[in-house]
Amino acid sequence: MSVTAPAGFEASGVAVGLKSTGKPDVAVVVNRGPLKVGAAVFTSNRAKANPILWSEQVIADGAVEAIVLNSGGANCFTGSFGFQTTHQTAEKTAEILGVGAGDVLVCSTGLIGTGDQVFRDKVLTGVAEGIAALSTTGGDDAARAIMTTDSRHKTTVFEGDGWRIGGMAKGAGMLAPGLATMLVVITTDAVIDAAEADAHLRAATRVSFDRLDSDGCMSTNDQVTLLASGASGTTPDAEAFRSALIAVCTDLAVQLQGDAEGASHDITIRVVNAATEDDAVEVGRSVARNNLFKAAIFGNDPNWGRVLAAIGTTDAVFDPYDVDVWMNGVRVCSAGGPDRPREDVDLTPRATDLQIDLKSGSAVATIYTNDLTHDYVHENSAYSS
């Protein structure tokens, strides 16, 4: 049931013609309370879509009644008309629900630079139809409505001790930290306040969505939202709740990785024994963004030399001539030199594990990425056609 698994939430997903496929394209999630707590993190791209500009204002007071999400159009670089469309979306939602427009978040995803009166009318129609279709079992419909190039909807549920967390996500391309081309809605019926929700969400996204680096491209529409209803009446231990939220975010991030456009390998890069966590992240990300390495993995070529070449471009503390590298459990590089024969490495499975030992400390970090394929190039060369 995704976002409707926790008590206090209703959701829906309806089709209003934003997608040419006729599939659901507007989702609504409503928090029935008793708490109306909200927190969100947004893309760090300076080029922000109109829904991001709106939602950044809404979330400031930590109170959220509902969130409306549409696929089939990013509503980005659409001028004042586009911002007015976002504003009207929130106002329409607020009018029907009997709440304030300033407590309604809006998200959009799709092609950048398009948006007209037809788009606006369809979104507003979607708001009305979506609210009319709200139910406590509508989480999966909502998850399907936010899909764009996704091949499947992405949901997760965590069962706590008397409380739950549910989540849905979309994303398949432009997946890079800060955040990614993702829309994520997470709900919980735990009793937490706005400050706690914000702190927990930032801690969770830091080690999950911000470690997903599929193609090095940063979007304009990314938003990860946490809504808390308090309907369980249970106040969880803070550490237990944060751990659960990290698990939920990591689960969704890995689902996004597994559906990356055109990918044939899901690559998990684990950097160990770094001087600092920042160093570990920097080293892992340098490999995740190295097209030569990603192309080699696509060709099932355990070319570990490309790993060393990539990490050598970073400012991290380590001796490049004392690094060990493992590929799918085989140490192919020891102390910066050859170890086991490349033929010992089997890269035919989709799951690909890369471990890099920097021998400079005790910090670790994991980065999630994928290979670079012909299908990725084809899909993105024809995205707007």
Given the residues 78, 86, 181, 369, select the one marked as catalytic: 181
Structure tokens at 111: 């092609």
- Tokens 């550490």 -> residue: 239
Judge residue 213's burial from the number of C-beta atoms within 10 Å of its C-beta, 0-12 exposed, 13-18 middle, 19 or more buried. buried
Q: Give the integer Cα–Cα distance in Å for 186 and 139.
A: 11
Q: Tokens standing for 195? A: 């400050």
Distance of CA 3 to the CA centre of its chain: 15
Which residue, 282, 273, 32, 274, is CA-closest to 136?
A: 32
The DSSP call for residue 228 is: E
At 267, the amino acid letter reads I
HSE value, Cβ hemisphere, 13 Å, CA-based, for 17: 7
For 194, the enclosing helix (H) or strand (E) is helix 194-206
SS3 367: strand
Q: How far, in Å, CA of 229 to CA of 32, rounded?
A: 7
- How large is the angle between the packed helices 238-258 and 194-206, nearest 10 degrees? 40
What 3-state DSSP class applies to 25?
coil
Token code pair at residue 371:
């290979």
* DSSP codes, 229-249: --TT-----HHHHHHHHHHHH
Burial class (CB in 10 A: 0-12, 13-18, 19+), 301: middle
In this structure, are residues 204 and 19 in contact, taking their beta carbons and an 8 Å threshold?
no
| Contact in structure between 58 and 104 (CB atoms under 8 Å) | yes
- Asked if residue 314 lies in contact with residue 357, where contact means CB atoms within 8 angstroms, the answer is no
234 is catalytic: no
Q: Which residues are catalytic?
A: 181
